Amino acid sequence: MKRDVWITEVALRDGSHAISHQFTVDQVRKVAKALDDADVPVIEVSHGDGLGGSSLQYGLSHTNEMDLISAATEVVTKAKIVVLLLPGIGTVQHLKEAASRGAKVARIATHVTEADVSKQHISFAKELGLEAVGFLMMSHMAPTEKLLEQASLMESYGADVVYVVDSAGALLPHQVKERVHCLRNSLDVPIGFHAHNNLSLAVANSLVAIEQGATRIDGSIRCLGAGAGNTQTEVLVSVLDRLNIQTGIDVYKMMDVAEEIVAPILQKPQEITREGLLLGYAGVYSSFLVHANKAAKQFKVDAKDILIELGKRKVVGGQEDMIVDIAAEMAKKTVKA
């Protein structure tokens, strides 16, 4: 099957944030099977914060993620199951178990300036016979030269693909163009792009990435993902089909999966709310939205103010505890006032 662009469907991982990590085995089976039937080549499954993410800090899963990985691998016949791992949250033991459950690809994710912590996990993924993907999160927070430096490190560790990851949905099209163009012309491995839709630019930015040579693009069916969601897969594949860019995915089946199987899972429609927009505007990690809303309710402060402060302090993934600290500080100031 000819594929000019390889789509990775991330709803069963990034979408975990949107439903507070409450995926069930039955839901994963139904979604994974339907995506496989539609010829989606790569499907990501794990806790929203990657392997080992189920915790009080990041959010407790309804179901052990290893069981979800097994559920997906048991029903697909063509697609590869991919897992995400953030060093410091997930361990090599998590990676080893995920591989034993049938995962074929490991995406090793670090903050955009911390690629050096990925060396052990990328190397171990290769030892396990997995495809290893370097995943540079919050790519808007580093200049292109720094991004290239960090991407080059991941390539040197053995990464088969390196991704520009717009975790906050903050990148503008010209910034995507510059970053992907630079990596594509400087690295020997394929380049990927992962978008969030907080500024309503996910599809547009993904198209820019493809124009600049990215061949691995992430999408989330029905926009099921953190913040305002990711690049909406069924929309992206429809646009690419109109452009005669081959993804190998059945457009009509994807529309049906989105409407009939994934839509009922959503706790509320994925739309760009005020807080979601602020994530992109202030450059805040998309998965912080649920945590900020929860802290706002607990301390009786405005979630908008929490998100703005997170942006000012340049808080990044892994610092979720700061959300509660900031909310508590705001509550104390309100009482004193």
Binding residues for Mn(2+): 14, 194, 196
Strand partners, 108: 85, 134
Cβ of 277: how many Cβ atoms within 10 Å? 18
The tokens for 6 are 């390889």
Query: Do the beta carbons of residue 192 and residue 176 sit within 8 Å?
Result: no
Write down the catalytic residue from 17, 94, 121, 181: 17
* Cα separation values, 116 from 95, 130, 140, 156, 185, Å: 18, 20, 18, 10, 22
Q: Is 140 among the catalytic positions?
A: no
CA–CA separation, 138 vs 13, rounded Å?
17
From the centroid of its chain, how far is CA 174? 21
CA–CA separation, 197 vs 276, rounded Å?
9
Binding-site residues for substrate sit at 13-14, 167, 194, 285
CA–CA separation, 253 vs 6, rounded Å?
17
From the centroid of its chain, how far is CA 23? 16
End-to-end CA distance of the chain: 65
Strand partners, 44: 82
What CA dihedral angle connects 325, 326, 331 and 332, to 10 degrees? 70
SS3 311: helix
Catalytic residues: 17
